[in-house]
Each structure stands twice: as structure tokens, then as C-alpha cells.
Amino acid sequence: MPPMVASSKPHIEVENLEVNFGAVPAVRGVSFTVAPGQQLTLLGPSGCGKTTTLRAIAGLEKPVGGEIRIDGAPVYSSARQINIPAEKRGLSMVFQSYAIWPHMTVFENVAYGLRVRRTPSAEIAEKVDHALGMVQMRAFAGRRASQLSGGQQQRVALARAFVFSPSVLLFDEPLSNLDAKLRGDMRLELRELQHRLGITSVYVTHDLEEALAMSDRIVVMRDGLVEQIGTPDDIYGLPRSAFVADFVGSANLIRGRHRADLSKDGLIALETAGGQLIYGTAYGRPVGAELTVSVRTVHLQICPQPPPGTPNVWPVRVEKTVFQGDFSQLHVAWGDQHLVVRCAAMEPVPAGSEVYMTVEPRRVVLLAPEAAASA
């Protein structure tokens, strides 16, 4: 099911949201929208305000400014003095700690939201059974929370969150307490479930892979501000700022002068202080006199002979090789700069080798000028 189908109206709108912790501003004017059925991820390092933003949407934090609308109706508005309490917003949430109530059985945990809504008990039994079936926990209905593993608690928390058909599901780093293997499996399951339910969701994580794998759109946040909004492809492939380039995967940043005289084929030419020339792509971003480009470490390639047909070829010396399992990390001297190259090299390249390095100009991404300097 393509989740990005053009829809008439956004489901969630966050506008100039500001939240303070005491006197300290945690969120400093954040705006984004989520289309119906879409999964949006708030991504950023700890302390960037992503969880606070999510909790403000939930109604668990009281903002100090801005507006939050759900289905076009404001649930918080500083201008109109509206702040609907969390329990009346009709949302649901999966907590980082799962928050499974230890004094209730799995069944009672899941049934809670339905009981709140005074659902007839026959219907409760049916819906809980269905929800537990969807997360493959039907056999555990009579268990207590203390008898469940982390992954099982996670599934119960999930069933509890969607069983009463909320309009929006919020996820606060739901996978961060699971071990790496289980996290990978749950990631796929969650994505699958979200598609099946077709439910609008906002997801918070600091894990890049999780964000790239699960989202329709990603909001990268930093210091309480939005750094970039886009699809996973955009965020990874076309980072707008040095921060995004660096946080989302690993990248080399190269600064230098614009050599308009050498530009060709719609490419931009950049000359570093050390005199190295590299061709890149502007992607419609304004080209000034001083430029910064980002090159992902995986997009740089090492080859024994200079490959034909590309303007970006340089002879380089490998200074250090670090074997890291799935890939090897090479530190190479490039003019007076040091670049990092990640390659799935079958044959190890020993330190001191003289080799050639190349990169496709479309992988050399110009950063937006105002955002480039802030790294």
C-alpha cells in the first residue's frame, strides 16, 4: 500500500511548537505535518527535543508556544489558549519502557483502553483476542507482565496501543530496550503492522537504521530545531547540512572555493585549499563562492587503476586500514586532507599502498550554504 498517496489534508499539524523544561527551552519552534496513514519519524541525538515534541503532541508536556492540530482541530494552541488533556485527544502511545501494568494480566492490559470507552464485554473479548493475534501473543492472554520477556512486553504494549482504534499512534523509542537481533525483527514487524492498520504514526528514535527502514518521512532534529525534513532517501542521499550528513551515516565534508570557470556538464567544481579539485552536484541549492560538499564514506571507491570516464579521480596513499567486520575503514591522504573510505573490500588494502580513489559527481552533494557552517 503506497502510503504517500496524495491526500487532501494533513492528519497532524505541528506549527512553531515551543516547549520549555523549567527555564530551559527544549523545543524552539518546530513545524511539520503528517499525512493520513503516514509514518513520520523524529530523528536526532539525545537532548534534541524529539521525545519532548512527541510528548507535546500526546498532551503529556504542556508547550509554551505554537499550535498542534489533529484532523484540523487544535488540541493545543497558545494563541487561542487551548490545551486538551492527553486522555481526550484520542491518540495512543507506545512507551520506551513499555509501561505494562504489573498488577494486571496481559488481557487486562490490552483491554484497558476499551474498558475506558465502556465497550461491551463481548466486544472487548473479541477485540483483545484480535489484537493479541496480530502481535502473536494470543497464547499469553492470562499471563502477568512479570512473566513476559522484553520482546513479549513490547508486543503487548503495541496491542494495547492500537486495540481501541486510536486515530494516531505515537512511538517513543519503542525498540531501544531490546537487544540488537530482536530489534531488527521487531522493526520489520512494526512496519508491517503499521501498513496493515493504515494508522497515522509518529515515531521517535535516535537510531538511524530504524528511521531509514521504518519511515515514510523523517524529521531530523537538533537542539530543539528542525534540521531537515524529507524521505529516507533524501535524508540519506541529499543531506542539507553538515550535521545531517554526519549524524545520518558517516560522511566526509570537503570545503573549498567555487571554480565556476572549470564547471562543466551541469556539475560544480570545488577547489580545496590544498589545491585538490572535485566535481559535485548542486541539486538546485544556491552556489556561492565558498562551498561545502558532503561525500558519504561508502561512496568513495578505491581502485588499483584509474577508472575511465569520471572527472573525480585522484592518486592517494592509504595511511591506515581498520577491519570492522562487514566493512573495512580506510584512512587516506588526499592532498593535505584526510578522508575516510568504507569499502566491503574482499582483499585487504595494506597501509602505505598507493592507489586511486574515485567518486561519482552525483554522490558529491552540495550543502545548503546557511546550514553548512553549523557543523
Partner 1 sequence: MERHPRPVSAAAPSAGSFPAQKLAGYGVAAVAAVLVLYPVFYLLQAAFDTGDPVARPPTEYGVDNFAAVFNYPQILLNTLTVSFAATVMALVIGFVMAWILARTNVPGRRVFEQLMVVPYYLTPLLGALAWSMLGQPESGFINQVWRALGGSEHIIDINTAYGIAWVMALFEGSVAFVMIAAVMKSMDPSLEEASQVMGASRLRTMLRVTLPLVIPGILGAAIFVFAEMLGSFAVALVLGLPSRYYVITTAIYQFVQQYPPRIQLAAAMGVSLFAVMFVMLFLYRRVVTSGSYVTITGKAFRPRVVDVGRLRYLLFAVCVLYLLAAVVLPLATLLFASVQKIAVAFPSADNFTLHNFSAAMSMNAARSALGNSLILGFATATIGVPLMGLLAWLIYRSRLPGAGLIEYVVMFPQAVPRLVFAFGMMWAWVVFPIPIYGTMWLLLIAYLTVFLPLGVRTISGVMLQIDKSLEECAQMCGASWTFRTRTVTIPLLWPGLIAAWLLLFIASIRELGASILLMGAHSKVITPAIVESYFGTASELTATLALIQTLVIGAAMIVLVAFTRRVGAHPID
Footprint on this chain of partner 1 (rule: CB under 8 A): 11, 36-37, 58-60, 70-71, 73-75, 81-93, 95-97, 99, 101-103, 112-113, 116-117, 157, 160-161, 164-167, 170, 197-198, 200
Q: Closest Cα partner for 304 from 343, 335, 259?
A: 343
- Residue with smaller CB distance to partner 1, 99 or 213: 99
CB atoms within 10 A of CB 192: 11
DSSP 144: B
CA distance 301 to 313: 10
- Residue with smaller CB distance to partner 1, 60 or 125: 60
Please, are residues 263 and 269 in contact by the beta-carbon 8 Å criterion? yes
Q: Output the nine-digit C-alpha cell for 339.
A: 578522508
CA distance 314 to 334: 8
Residue 262 C-beta: closest distance to partner 1, Å: 55
Pairing verdict, β 200-205 and 39-43: parallel
- Residue with smaller CB distance to partner 1, 198 or 288: 198
- Residue with smaller CB distance to partner 1, 95 or 327: 95
CA distance 203 to 6: 21
CB atoms within 10 A of CB 84: 16
Residue 166 C-beta: closest distance to partner 1, Å: 8
- Residue with smaller CB distance to partner 1, 89 or 240: 89
DSSP character string of 267-284: -EEEE-TT--EEEEB-TT
Residue 23 C-beta: closest distance to partner 1, Å: 14
Q: Output the nine-digit C-alpha cell for 8.
A: 487532501
Residue 172 C-beta: closest distance to partner 1, Å: 8
- Residue 192: partners with Cβ closer than 8 Å, 6 or more residues away: none
Angle (nearest 5°) at CA 84 between 78 and 86: 125
Residue 101 C-beta: closest distance to partner 1, Å: 6
- Residue with smaller CB distance to partner 1, 23 or 180: 23
Residue 31 C-beta: closest distance to partner 1, Å: 21
Residue 145 amino acid letter: A
- Residue with smaller CB distance to partner 1, 164 or 247: 164
Residue 198 C-beta: closest distance to partner 1, Å: 7
